[in-house]
Structure 1
Amino acid sequence: MPNRALRGALALLLLIPATGALARTCDLTIGSSDAMRFDRSELRVAADCTQVRLTLRHTGRQMAAAMGHNWVLTRTADYRPVAIAGGLGSLAHSYLPPGDARVIAYTKVIGSGESTTVTFRTAGLTRGGDYTFFCSFPGHWNVMRGKLVFG
């Protein structure tokens, strides 16, 4: 029995990040449609969330190649340069520059009736920081965007 108790205690310790708080995953959902709009212009993440699991749903009828959408998170100062650079890319790379360190998190591009999920840690986010989420599909990013509030 002591081994089982020890294994349980060790498993619990693995859930505790360096801050000493228990790990907490916060779930967010956002929708998109053929109207080139997200259904939310602001997403809020509580300060005690250690990671975020965001699900993007495409409620439109068009396929990804014609009216695809993704969800990309950057610092607001980086959003336009990342979106412009991504527009030179391809659907295979979700219209993002591969390996771009300015991208905090992103989903793949999806189409008609599909959904996709991305999970990312909040350790790199600053409470009260200025973050923009957007769709990097060419031509969408200038109107299809919103604000992420952390903290």
Structure 2
Amino acid sequence: MKKVFMVPAVVAALFLASCGGGDKSSTATHEHESTTSTPAETPAASVPGIENVETTDHIQLQASDDMRFDKDLFKVKAGSKVKLTLKNIGEQPIESMGHNAVVLDQGTDVAAFGGEAFKAKEEEYIPSTFASSIIAHTKLLGPGQSDEIEFTLPKAGVYEFICSFPGHWGTMQGKIVAE
């Protein structure tokens, strides 16, 4: 049992050592580098594959019984209206395999949101406790149903979207990069 707890501590120590540990000259260099901004350092640049995604104003998603969205990466223009269409192509009933798409504000703790959504059955798994973190959401959809919403991502950055049906957010999520 001790080995299980020792391994993360060793890995953490090695990680800190490789990052410069407590060396103040190293820390000063990193602070200086982080204040010097280049286009490659934008949040969007940190999203793998975004350079291969074309800008769109209509996000089309499909959700299925395998608890996956058919696409998980989109690029839009910040400040512009975006249409999102979600279709549930699954066959299982809404009570056991409902799907929605919830667009979350930047910095939202997805795991905490998912935990609250689990408790929000009366609100179709859209927790009012996180209302300020929700940019937009579709209805909860059963098999063959679809919904369309419009929203605007107010500023450049990376926004996550998830299905908030209990247990789905872990595999049903993606990113919308606003530029």
TM-score with structure 2 setting the length? 0.63
1:30 maps to a residue whose letter is L
1:83 maps to a residue whose letter is G
**Conservation of the 8 A alpha-carbon contact between 1:63 and 1:110:** no
Match of 1:112 in 2: 143
What 5-or-longer segments of structure 2 have no aligned partner? 1-55
The total of aligned residue pairs comes to 122
2:117 maps to a residue whose letter is G
Larger radius of gyration: 2
Query: What value does the CA root-mean-square deviation take over the aligned residues?
Result: 1.8
Match of 1:46 in 2: 77
Distance 1:97 1:34 in 2: 23
Give the deviation of 1:77 after TM superposition: 2.9
**Sequence identity of aligned pairs in percent?**
36
Does the C-alpha gap of structure 1 residues 76 and 46 become closer, same or farther in structure 2, counting only changes over 3 Å?
closer
TM-score with structure 1 setting the length? 0.74
Structure with the higher helix share, 1 or 2: 2
Structure with the higher strand share, 1 or 2: 1
**Conservation of the 8 A alpha-carbon contact between 1:83 and 1:96:** no
RCO higher in 1 or 2 (8 Å CA, sep ≥ 6)? 1
1:32 maps to a residue whose letter is A
Distance 1:148 1:133 in 2: 7
Runs of 4+ in 1 over 6 A off after TM superposition: none
Distance 1:80 1:105 in 2: 18
Q: Does residue 87 of structure 1 match 2:118?
A: yes
What 5-or-longer segments of structure 1 have no aligned partner? 1-24
